[in-house]
């Protein structure tokens, strides 16, 4: 135990007013200058822990019991008036979505000045100077001018910097960063995380870093707690955790990560999902998903077992003398099935794109005359063969998604050629195009927004078939739908339910089934796993790989996630400002990048390498 922790949290329990615990008796400490990461999937209670500490809980959620002290001040008992001085002063918080956290009708300078006035007593001309200094410190160029701009005039990465400047304005001893880079591109993420590390080094500030990203933890945290279903299930130093993850859940999180080494096998997905709040009152909460569970796990709640001075785990494997178990539990590979042999690619290009251009006119003046063009896609050429996966990588705004839509002619290209199975698509009449589109389907990033909430799953799957007059009689279509649900790992009873009744991963399965309903040969997948947790991502990647093996599908996989590219792609195109700047096999581009932009993209990805994982 640290003798002088800055923050100490003891058996903190946060609950819904009706009783179920969201955060359930968690304890941890953070020292000055230390970064402590809370790691886990959505819904495991990480953000609620942060909001409990800040006393910013949403309506209907209360701090039920336990204690939290910062510099010996008891946070949970402080009168609200004094808490306001702590919030933004002793401890500050930055959120995932800077766009939602900044006030759109105040300039960034006014917003930072508010914090300076409240917590530092600085006002007037001094406040303006301090604002400019803070904006410079967080790397905003031309700070003297930009201080009087509004949030909408800043990009996502710059807004996050403004949020950090606001947080730093109160000179906090503890910064709580809740998924601070999840909404950002990988190069901006690297810059923001470096900025936080540098600031910490200069000020000795402590940081509570909330993330689901093991790469971010590997590069930034000193110590880590893994949360599952409201509890901390493992706590260790970063090196201990990465060298030898103890809890079966932590081991599975590591095993679910896609990478090149896993290319020829299915990723180890964690079956099932996090249990609903309060649904497991007895036994281990991970037991329904744990392949090491035995009778005791269902009957008795595991206690916290200390392994070392500052390391511990909540699992019976470490508290009971179990035959065949040891502290160094080998990773269970029972779910790592070999994928079926991918059908040999014929190498004949299925899709050939040459010199494709999509330019959007910029109109000005009363007469809306064309004053110039935004060249969203600027002379792109690529090819995809049957049964192959081409990854299109690049950052937000580089033209990836516009290109995907232009291939399907959802956006009319300005110029160039798109040949599918030997015939030209550009210039086709609308009805001819509609029948060709069946062979090329799209799967979108957000499974929440891409399914019609008013239709049941069966209707969603049938819609495309009806529109294209495919699938035969109504009973033949129903049989086809049953087959699609089986293929995509969904229960047949799912047909009669609505999208909102499913989890994110299940909805993405429905979106894939919908795309497959019209028997396509090419799927354009636009960031299909970026809204999903790592274990759910593993399930979807496994599904896409096995569908490719079974049906010989080709994929154009639009993504910014290079680990997914390593796992899935045969070829890679790197896009930057509307152009393809590098292309080649996945091996060539990722192992020996030639273009400076590809090099900087690869350098910005947080890596877990260099920290040997106990079980591969
Ligand atoms: Fe698995 Fe049992 Fe350990 Fe829970 S207590 S993680 S079910 S082995």
**Residue 364 in domain:** yes
pLDDT the model gives residue 343: 45
Number of structural domains the chain divides into = 3
Question: Is residue 430 domain-shared with residue 495, that is, in the same domain?
Answer: yes
Decide: 329 in ligand 1 pocket, CB within 6 A: no
pLDDT the model gives residue 321: 52
**Residue 333 in domain:** no
| 284 Cα nearest atom in ligand 1 | 4
Averaged over 585-613, what is the pLDDT? 80
Question: Is residue 593 domain-shared with residue 553, that is, in the same domain?
Answer: yes
Q: Which of 293, 295, 322 to mutate to test the pocket of ligand 1 (most atoms within 8 A of CB)?
A: 293
E-strand ranges in 461-570 read: 522-526, 554-559
**Residue 339 in domain:** no
Give the tens place of pLDDT for each residue, 219-237.
899 999 999 999 999 999 9
Task: Indicate the pLDDT class of residue 314, thresholds 50, 70 and 90.
Answer: very high
Return d(Cα 283, Cα 297) in angstroms, integer. Answer: 5
Half-sphere exposure in the Cβ direction for 118 (13 Å, CA): 22
**Residue 362 in domain:** yes
Task: Indicate the pLDDT class of residue 3, thresholds 50, 70 and 90.
Answer: low
Q: Which of 567, 564, 605 shows the shortest CA–CA distance to 215?
A: 605
More confident residue, 120 or 615: 120
Return d(Cα 266, Cα 335) in angstroms, integer. Answer: 8
Residue 201 pLDDT more than 60? yes
Question: Is residue 432 domain-shared with residue 511, that is, in the same domain?
Answer: yes
Question: Is residue 162 domain-shared with residue 216, that is, in the same domain?
Answer: no
Residue nearest to atom 7 of ligand 1 (CA): 287
Question: Is residue 370 domain-shared with residue 395, that is, in the same domain?
Answer: yes
Q: Which of 78, 59, 62 shows the shortest CA–CA distance to 70?
A: 78
Question: Is residue 64 domain-shared with residue 138, that is, in the same domain?
Answer: no
Task: Indicate the pLDDT class of residue 611, thresholds 50, 70 and 90.
Answer: very low
Q: Which of 278, 310, 312, 272 shows the shortest CA–CA distance to 293?
A: 272
Residue 345 pLDDT more than 60? no
Question: Is residue 28 domain-shared with residue 139, that is, in the same domain?
Answer: no
Question: Is residue 218 domain-shared with residue 163, that is, in the same domain?
Answer: no
Residue 6 contacts residue 62 (beta carbons within 8 Å): no
Q: Which of 297, 301, 307, 325 to mutate to test the pocket of ligand 1 (most atoms within 8 A of CB)?
A: 297
| 249 Cα nearest atom in ligand 1 | 6
Residue 574 pLDDT more than 80? yes
**Residue 133 in domain:** yes
Residue 111 pLDDT more than 50? yes
Question: 7-16, 88-97, 278-287, 328-337: which range is least confident on average?
Answer: 328-337
Averaged over 387-401, what is the pLDDT? 88
Return d(Cα 457, Cα 459) in angstroms, integer. Answer: 5
Q: Report the mean per-residue pLDDT for the chain.
A: 86
Question: Is residue 528 domain-shared with residue 516, that is, in the same domain?
Answer: yes
* Alpha-helix residue ranges (DSSP H) falling in 244-381: 248-255, 295-299, 316-319
* Alpha-helix residue ranges (DSSP H) falling in 108-235: 108-115, 124-137, 143-146, 156-169, 186-203, 214-220
Question: Is residue 166 domain-shared with residue 176, that is, in the same domain?
Answer: no
Residue 183 pLDDT more than 80? no
Averaged over 253-260, what is the pLDDT? 84
Decide: 284 in ligand 1 pocket, CB within 6 A: yes
More confident residue, 216 or 181: 216
* Angle at alpha carbon of residue 224, lines to 214 and 51, rounded to 5°: 95
Decide: 287 in ligand 1 pocket, CB within 6 A: yes
Decide: 116 in ligand 1 pocket, CB within 6 A: no
Which domain does 58 fall in, by range?
A: 1-90+172-243
**Residue 321 in domain:** no
Decide: 248 in ligand 1 pocket, CB within 6 A: yes
Question: Is residue 148 domain-shared with residue 178, that is, in the same domain?
Answer: no
CA of 297 to the centre of ligand 1 (A): 6
Domain final residue pick, 150, 171, 192: 171
Decide: 293 in ligand 1 pocket, CB within 6 A: yes
CA of 41 to the centre of ligand 1 (A): 18
Decide: 317 in ligand 1 pocket, CB within 6 A: yes
pTM: 0.80
Domain final residue pick, 110, 141, 171: 171
Q: What is the DSSP letter of 87?
A: B
Q: Which of 223, 179, 208, 200 shows the shortest CA–CA distance to 53?
A: 208
| 290 Cα nearest atom in ligand 1 | 1
Return d(Cα 507, Cα 209) in angstroms, integer. Answer: 29
Task: Indicate the pLDDT class of residue 616, thresholds 50, 70 and 90.
Answer: very low
Decide: 286 in ligand 1 pocket, CB within 6 A: yes
Decide: 289 in ligand 1 pocket, CB within 6 A: no
Sign of the dihedral through C-alpha 153, 156, 161, 164: positive
Question: 450-464, 470-484, 602-616: which range is least confident on average?
Answer: 602-616
Averaged over 407-430, what is the pLDDT? 89
Q: CB-based burial of residue 79 (10 Å sphere; 0-12 exposed, 13-18 middle, 19+ buried)?
A: exposed
Task: Indicate the pLDDT class of residue 184, thresholds 50, 70 and 90.
Answer: confident
**Residue 209 in domain:** yes
**Residue 479 in domain:** yes
Q: CB-based burial of residue 577 (10 Å sphere; 0-12 exposed, 13-18 middle, 19+ buried)?
A: middle
Q: Considering the chain, what percentage of its residues have pLDDT values greater than 90? A: 43
Give the tens place of pLDDT for each residue, 478-518.
999 998 888 888 888 888 999 888 877 888 889 999 999 98
Question: Is residue 212 domain-shared with residue 236, that is, in the same domain?
Answer: yes
Decide: 318 in ligand 1 pocket, CB within 6 A: no
Decide: 228 in ligand 1 pocket, CB within 6 A: no
| 294 Cα nearest atom in ligand 1 | 2
Domain final residue pick, 204, 223, 243: 243
More confident residue, 274 or 516: 516
Decide: 438 in ligand 1 pocket, CB within 6 A: no
CATH number at residue 513: 3.40.50.300
CA of 63 to the centre of ligand 1 (A): 28
Task: Indicate the pLDDT class of residue 347, thresholds 50, 70 and 90.
Answer: low
């Amino acid at each position: 135990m640290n003798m002088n922790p800055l923050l100490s949290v003891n058996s903190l329990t946060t609950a819904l007013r009706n009783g179920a615990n969201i955060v359930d008796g968690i304890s941890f400490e953070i020292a000055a200058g230390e970064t402590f990461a809370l790691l886990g999937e959505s819904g495991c209670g990480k953000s609620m822990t942060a909001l409990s500490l800040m006393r910013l809980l949403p309506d209907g959620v209360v701090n039920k019991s336990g204690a939290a002290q910062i510099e010996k001040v008891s946070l949970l008992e402080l009168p609200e008036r004094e808490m306001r001085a702590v919030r933004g002063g002793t401890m500050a918080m930055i959120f995932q979505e800077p766009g939602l956290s900044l006030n759109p009708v105040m300039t960034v300078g006014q917003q930072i000045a508010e914090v300076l006035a409240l917590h530092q007593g600085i006002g007037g001309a001094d406040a303006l100077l301090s604002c400019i200094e803070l904006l410079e410190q967080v790397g905003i160029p031309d700070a003297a001018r930009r201080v009087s701009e509004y949030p909408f005039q800043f990009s996502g990465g710059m807004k996050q910097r403004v949020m950090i400047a606001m947080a730093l304005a109160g000179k906090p001893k503890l910064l709580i960063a809740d998924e601070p880079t999840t909404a950002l591109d990988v190069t901006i993420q690297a810059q923001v995380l470096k900025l936080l590390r540098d600031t910490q080094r200069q000020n000795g500030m402590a940081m509570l870093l909330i993330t689901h990203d093991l790469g971010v933890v590997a590069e930034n945290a000193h110590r880590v707690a893994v949360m599952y279903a409201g509890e901390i299930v493992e706590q260790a130093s970063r090196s201990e955790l990465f060298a030898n993850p103890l809890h079966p859940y932590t081991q599975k999180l590591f095993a679910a990560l896609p990478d090149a080494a896993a290319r020829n096998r299915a990723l180890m997905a964690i079956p099932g999902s996090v249990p609903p709040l309060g649904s497991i009152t007895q036994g281990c909460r991970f037991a329904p998903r744990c392949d090491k569970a035995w009778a005791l796990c269902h009957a008795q709640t595991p206690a916290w077992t200390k392994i070392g001075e500052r390391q511990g785990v909540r699992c019976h494997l470490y508290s009971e003398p179990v035959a065949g178990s040891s502290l160094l539990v080998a990773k269970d590979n029972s779910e790592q099935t070999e994928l079926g042999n991918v059908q040999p690619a014929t190498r004949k290009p299925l899709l050939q794109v040459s010199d494709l251009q999509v330019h959007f006119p910029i109109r000005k003046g009363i007469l809306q005359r064309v004053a110039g063009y935004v060249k969203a896609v600027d002379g792109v050429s690529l090819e995809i063969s049957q049964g192959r996966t081409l990854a299109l990588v690049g950052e937000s705004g580089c033209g990836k998604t516009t290109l995907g839509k232009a291939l399907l002619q959802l956006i009319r290209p300005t110029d160039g050629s798109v040949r599918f199975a030997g015939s030209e698509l550009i210039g086709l009449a609308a009805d001819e195009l509609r029948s060709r589109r069946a062979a090329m389907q799209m799967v979108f990033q957000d499974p929440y927004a891409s399914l019609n909430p008013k239709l049941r799953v069966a209707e969603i799957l049938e819609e495309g078939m009806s529109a294209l007059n495919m699938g035969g009689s109504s009973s033949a279509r129903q049989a086809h739908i049953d087959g699609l649900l089986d293929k995509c790992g969904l229960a047949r009873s799912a047909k009669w339910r609505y999208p909102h009744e499913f989890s994110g991963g299940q909805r993405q399965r429905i979106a894939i089934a919908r795309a497959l309903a019209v028997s396509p040969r090419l799927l354009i997948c636009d960031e299909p796993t970026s809204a999903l947790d790592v274990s759910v991502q593993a399930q979807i990647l496994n599904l896409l790989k096995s569908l490719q093996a079974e049906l010989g599908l080709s994929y154009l996989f639009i993504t910014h996630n290079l680990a997914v590219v390593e796992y899935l792609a045969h070829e890679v195109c790197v896009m930057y400002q509307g152009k393809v700047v590098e292309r080649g096999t996945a091996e060539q581009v990722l192992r020996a990048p030639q273009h400076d932009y590809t090099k900087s993209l690869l350098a910005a990805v947080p890596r877990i390498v260099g920290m040997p994982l106990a079980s591969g």
